[in-house]
Amino acid sequence: MSDTLAIDVKGLTKSFGETRVVDDFDMQVPKGSIYGFLGPNGSGKTTTIRMMCGLLKPDSGGGTALGHDIIEESRTIKSRVGYMTQRFSLYGDLTVRENLTFMARLHALRNPKLIVADTLEEYDLGPRAHQLADTLSGGWKQRLALAAASMHNPGLLLLDEPTAGVDPKARRDFWDRIRGLARKGVTVLVSTHYMDEAVQCDYIAFIAYGRKLIDAPSADIPERVGLVTWRIEGKGLQPIYDELLNAEGVDQIARFGSALHVSGRDADTLERTVCAYRGREGISVDLAKTGLEEAFIWLMAGSQDNFT
Amino acid sequence: MNSFSRILALIGKEFIQMLRDRLTFGMMVGIPVMQLLLFGYAINTDPRHLPTLVEMGDNGPASRAILQAMETSDYFDLIGITHSRAETDTALQTGGALFVVTIPPGFERDLLRGDRPQILLDTDASDPVAAGAGTGAFPTLVQEALAPLLGEMTPPVGTVIHRRYNPAGRTALNIVPGLLGVILTMTMAMMTSMALTREAERGTLETLLATPTRPYEVMVGKITPYVFVGFIQVVIMLAGARFLFGVPFLGSAPAFLVCVSLFILVNLSLGFLFSTVARTQMQAMQMTFFVFLPSILLSGFMFPFAGMPAWAQTLGQALPTTHFIRAVRAIMLKGASLGDIVPQIWPLAVIFTVIATVAMLRYRRTLD
C-alpha cells in the first residue's frame, strides 16, 4: 500500500498550549498526484504540513512520507521533500544565485554550481541571478522559492499557500510549473484559498478547526456535499436576493457576476422556491452544477457552527 | 480638532504596543531601577577596606601603632602577612592585595634614634582610582600614628611609595584593557543574539530546518563567523592600545590568547542564550543591555571593584567581564603568565559551561 502512497498519516494530533490545532488527522496522498489542501485561515493546514515534513513532532499519531516514518526518519524525509513556506523565507539580502547555491549546499548536492545553473535556466531566473531576493516582485519571489524547494529533486513537494498575494498571471505560471513537476512524477500537496487552483487538483482535502471535513477526488466533492444549486440570472437581483435569504429550502446564496447561485439540500423545496421567479421579466432560472466554491462555502459555514 | 484626536489615537496605540511587548516594558522600568541601585549603592569612587598585606620586619609598639592607624582609617584592610619580596610580588600581580606595607627590620630602634627610617608602601597602581585615596592618605597617617608615641608633631620617619605597574598613574593604562572586555561583551553577545533571532524573525530558520541541516550545524555555522569578528576587534583594540595610548603588553601572549578565546566563547554563548528567549531582534538587543550595564558598572571596569559592597561584589563575580578584565590587566600591565591567571580562567570556564548548557537545552525546546 505505502509504495503507492506519498503520504500516509493517521491520527495526527497537535496542540499548542491549550488549543488543539490538529485533531486526529488522516490523509493518504497517492504518488504523482496533486493534492489540494483547503480550509479557512487558522484551520491547522500549516501545522499539518510541518508535521508531515518532520519539522514538528505530533503529540500523537504518525505515519510515513515517501515511505519514511515522519517521527523516526525526519532527516531522511527532509532530504527527499521540498517544503515551501507560506511566507517568503529565503534570504532577502542574498542574490537569487546565492540563495540557490546556499540551499544546494545545505542539501549537500553534488556539483552545486551546475545544479544552480540548471535551476536558474529552468525557472527563467537567469536574468535575475544577481538581483537581491528582497528586490524581486511577489511572483518572482514565489518562483525563486519553488526553485529552491525543488532543486534537490524531491519526490514530494509540500507547498503552503504558495500563491497567496501573487498576481493572476504569476499564479497561472506557477501552476503550470506545478503540473509540470507532477507529470515528472513528483507528488504535490498544496494548500490554497483559490478555487481556480483547487479545481486543478486531483484530490482535495478540506480541513477546518483542526479536523478534516472531506477528502475526495476534486470532481466528486460537490456531489459529496449534497447541495443542489440553481442559477438565477438577470437584472435587478438585489430584491430577489433579499427575499431568498430567508426563503424555504434555501441554505446558501452566492453572487457570481450578474447571477445568483442558490443552493440547498432539499431539492424539491428549493425548486419550488426558486421556480416562483421563473417568468419574471428579464430573469432566467436554471438548474446549475454545484461548484467547488459553493461546496466549500457550505462546508466552512457548517464547520463554524460546529466549532465556534 | 481632528489633528488632536488623531494624535490622541496615536498616543493610545503607542501605549498599547508598549505594554504588549513585555520585555521592552520591563526594560523601561528595569533599567532606571538597575541604574539607580548600582550607582546609588554599589559604586563608590572613594573605595575603602582595600586588601592590604604587611611585611613585618619589626614588631615594636611603633609598628603596631602604624598598623592600627591604617585599620582605623578604613582605607586598608589588613588581610595577612608576607614573608618575602616574591610573595609580595605575587600578591600584587594576582590582585590578592592592593597594598603591601613593608616595615623594615630595626624600625623601632632607628625611629627612637632619630635615624629617619623609611616605611615602604607598594601599591597596585594599575587602577589609579582604587589605590589613589589610600596612597594619598598614607604618609599623613603614619605621621599621625607616631606623633603621640614620640610626643613630636613631625616624627622622624619617611614614607616611600612604589606605584607598581603604572608609576605615572595614567588612567588610560587601566581603562584600555578593561575596554577590551566591555566591547567584546557588548558586540559579541549582541551580534550573535541578533543574528540568530533574525533567522527566526524572518522565517529563514524554518527553511534551514526543513533541509537535512541539523540544529547544531545551524548553531555552529551561525556562531563561528562571530569568533572571527571577535578576534578582529581584539586586534584593533590591541593596536590602538599600543600605538595610541602606549599601553604596554608585558605578559604572556599564549595566556592572553587563552583568555580572549574563552571570553569570546562565553559572550557568544550568552548571545545564543538570548536568542532562545528573544522573539525579535529588538528584544535581543535589549537583553544584551541588561548584561552590558552591570558589566560596565560592576566589573571593575569603570569603578574600583574593591570599593563595592559585598553584595555588589558577589554580583560582579557572576559577570564574565569581571574575570576577563582582571586577567587582561594582569597580563598586559603586570606581566602575568598563564599560571598567574588561573584564578580568572576557571570562573570563566564555569560561567561558559553553565550558559552554554542552558542555551542548548532551551534551543532544542524552541525548535519544536
3-state secondary structure A210-221: CEEEEEEEHHHH
pLDDT (tens digit per residue) in A9-20? 999 999 988 888
Interface test with A, best of B199, B205, B207 (most A CBs within 10 A): B207
Q: How far is CA B149 from CA A194, B61, B65, B258, in A?
A: 102, 9, 8, 53
The whole-angstrom distance between B200's CA and the closest CA on chain A is: 10
The whole-angstrom distance between B197's CA and the closest CA on chain A is: 14
Quick one: which of B40, B72, B50, B41 has its CA closest to B130?
B50
pLDDT (tens digit per residue) in A245-296? 888 888 888 888 888 889 888 888 888 888 888 888 888 888 888 888 888 8
- The DSSP result for A150-186, as a single string, is HTT--SEEEEESTTTT--HHHHHHHHHHHHHHHHTT-
How does residue A193 score in pLDDT terms, banded at 50, 70 and 90?
confident
Looking up cell 582610582 gives B129
Answer whether B212 sits within 8 Å of A75, measured CB to CB. yes
For B204, the closest of A83, A89, A108 (CB atoms) is A89
How does residue A1 score in pLDDT terms, banded at 50, 70 and 90?
very low
Query: How far is B159 from A79, CA to CA, in rounded Å?
Result: 78
Answer whether A85 sits within 8 Å of B203, measured CB to CB. yes
pLDDT (tens digit per residue) in A275-287? 888 888 888 888 8
The predicted structure's pLDDT at residue B47: 80
* CATH architecture of the region B50-164: 3-Layer(aba) Sandwich (3.40)
Q: Are A34 and A188 in contact (CB under 8 A)?
A: yes
Over chain B, what is the mean pLDDT?
87
| H/E run at residue A35 | strand A34-38
* Percent of chain B topping pLDDT 90: 27
pLDDT of residue B367 exceeding 60, the answer is no
Using CA of residue B4, residue B7, residue B12, residue B13, what is the dihedral sign? positive
Query: How far is A202 from A247, CA to CA, in rounded Å?
Result: 36
Domain with CATH 3.40.1710.10 in chain B: 50-164
Interface test with B, best of A79, A106, A157 (most B CBs within 10 A): A106
Q: What domains does chain A contain, in order, with CATH numbers?
A: 5-222 (3.40.50.300), 227-289 (3.30.70.330)
How does residue B366 score in pLDDT terms, banded at 50, 70 and 90?
low
The predicted structure's pLDDT at residue A306: 42
For A56, the closest of B204, B213, B368 (CB atoms) is B368
| Phi, psi torsion values for A147, nearest 5 degrees | -60, -45
Spell out which residues of chain A touch residue B211, defining contact as CB-CB under 8 Å: 78-79, 103, 106-107
**Cα separation of the two ends of chain A:** 37
Q: Are B206 and B239 in contact (CB under 8 A)?
A: no
Looking at the whole model, is its pTM more than 0.90? no
| Average pLDDT score over residue span A3-26 | 90
Interface test with A, best of B194, B199, B201, B204 (most A CBs within 10 A): B204
B310 contacts chain A (CB < 8 A): no
Instruction: Find the Cα–Cα–Cα–Cα dihedral B283, B287, B293, B299, rounded to 10°.
Output: -160
| Average pLDDT score over residue span B326-349 | 91
Report which of residues B37 and B273 the model is more confident about. Answer: B273
Query: How far is A228 from B4, CA to CA, in rounded Å?
Result: 56
How does residue A201 score in pLDDT terms, banded at 50, 70 and 90?
very high
The predicted structure's pLDDT at residue B73: 87
Spell out which residues of chain A touch residue B203, defining contact as CB-CB under 8 Å: 85, 87-89
Query: How far is B241 from B237, CA to CA, in rounded Å?
Result: 6
The predicted structure's pLDDT at residue A2: 52
pLDDT (tens digit per residue) in B155-192? 788 888 888 888 877 888 888 888 899 999 988 999 99
Name B342's Cβ contacts closer than 8 Å, sequence gap at least 6. none
Spell out which residues of chain A touch residue B202, defining contact as CB-CB under 8 Å: 89, 92
| H/E run at residue B331 | helix B320-334
pLDDT (tens digit per residue) in B82-115? 888 888 888 888 888 889 999 888 888 888 888 8
pLDDT of residue A305 exceeding 50, the answer is no
The whole-angstrom distance between A113's CA and the closest CA on chain B is: 18
| Chains A–B, number of C-beta pairs less than 8 Å apart | 40
> Partners of A157 in the beta sheet?
A82, A188
Which residues 188-217 in chain B show a CB within 8 A of chain A?
202-204, 206-214
Which residues 93-122 in chain A show a CB within 8 A of chain B?
103, 106-108
Q: How far is CA B216 from CA A117, A120, B75, B222, in A?
A: 30, 30, 52, 10
3-state SS class at A27? strand
For A55, the closest of B202, B204, B206 (CB atoms) is B206
| Average pLDDT score over residue span A161-165 | 89
Query: How far is A156 from A149, CA to CA, in rounded Å?
Result: 10
